[in-house]
Structures are given as C-alpha cells and as structure tokens.
Amino acid sequence: MTWYTLLVLAVAAERLAELVVARRNTRWSLARGGAESGRGHYPAMVALHTVLLVGCLAEVRLAERPFLPVLGWTMVAAVVAAQALRWWCIRALGPRWNTRVIIVPGLPRVIGGPYRWMAHPNYVAVAAEGLALPLVHGAWVTALVFTVLNAALMAVRIRCEDRALARLPAVDATA
C-alpha cells in the first residue's frame, strides 16, 4: 500500500498546485473586474475533494482492500489521463482558469483546447479521477460515494457556471 499512499499524496500535491494557480488567477481576474458566482457551493466542493483523498487511504487500510492488478493498473492510467486533461484545461484557459467561478467582463468565452469538444472538460477529469483513484486499490465504497456526491455537486456547479458564461461571447483563444 506504500506506493498507493504515495500516489494519493501525489494527487494531493497536484491539488495544492492547482490552488496556487487558482489563487494567482483569482488575483488576475479580480484586478480586471472579475465577479465570482456560486460561492455557496465552493466549501462543499473543497470538503468533498478532501474526503476523497482521505477516503481512498482510509478504506484501503480499514477494509483491507486488495490491489487487483488488471483493475489497479487500468485505473492508474485513468488517473494519469484525468490529470493530463485537467492541465490541458488549465493551459487552454490560461489566467481565466480557476477553482472558483469568476467571470471577467469583456473577455470572450474560450472555445479552444478541450473546450472545442465539450463545455466542461475539467469536470470530466474530476469525475474520472474521483472514480479511478479509489479503484486503483479497490476502494469501491469511496469511489461510489464520491461519484454520487460529485454528480449532485456538479449539477449545481455546472448550472452556476453556465449562467455566468452565458454572458460571454465565444472565441477560440488558443488559435
């Protein structure tokens, strides 16, 4: 389980890196007149993502979940793919990417990178990671609970984000 603990800690470190980027981008957005939407659901989102990481380790240890190589290595690949998609989103949005919903007036909606094919690719990455990370080591209860709670939270988050983004014109900023 030591390598799994390291994997979960690596994902936690990645999340901390995201927060550093998000804080920098928040300052950038607010300096340009950005307005935040959906503050009410943000603490629940932070709590859910924290519980995911703790749940992965706790369930594997307490329920003595085995590592099943075929499932485990497939899920490692899914975790890596989710991270790649997330950072592609961060790159495509540049200083507009955030863990919060902050819209800067006058800037067009980005429709390049993964946003060329779907409206919310970062949430696809979150959903994939939330399912795959626990399943790397058989923590199916954590995977199930996170997936259900995340789906409910994403329904709120996506509605909030769509309302905020509806005010922006669309342009491919990566072209």
Domains and CATH numbers, the chain: 2-171 (1.20.120.1630)
Q: How far apart are CA 169 and CA 175, in angstroms?
A: 16
| pLDDT, tens digit, 9 for 90 and up, residues 156-172 | 999 999 999 887 776 55
Q: How far apart are CA 5 and CA 75, in angstroms?
A: 15
| pLDDT, tens digit, 9 for 90 and up, residues 132-151 | 999 999 999 999 999 999 99
Distance of CA 110 to the CA centre of its chain: 18
The residue-averaged pLDDT of 106-124 equals 94
Contacts of 172 (CB under 8 A, 6+ apart): 110, 111, 112, 116
Q: How far apart are CA 44 and CA 27, in angstroms?
A: 22
DSSP 39: G
Which amino acid, residue 109?
R
What was the pLDDT predicted at 29?
97
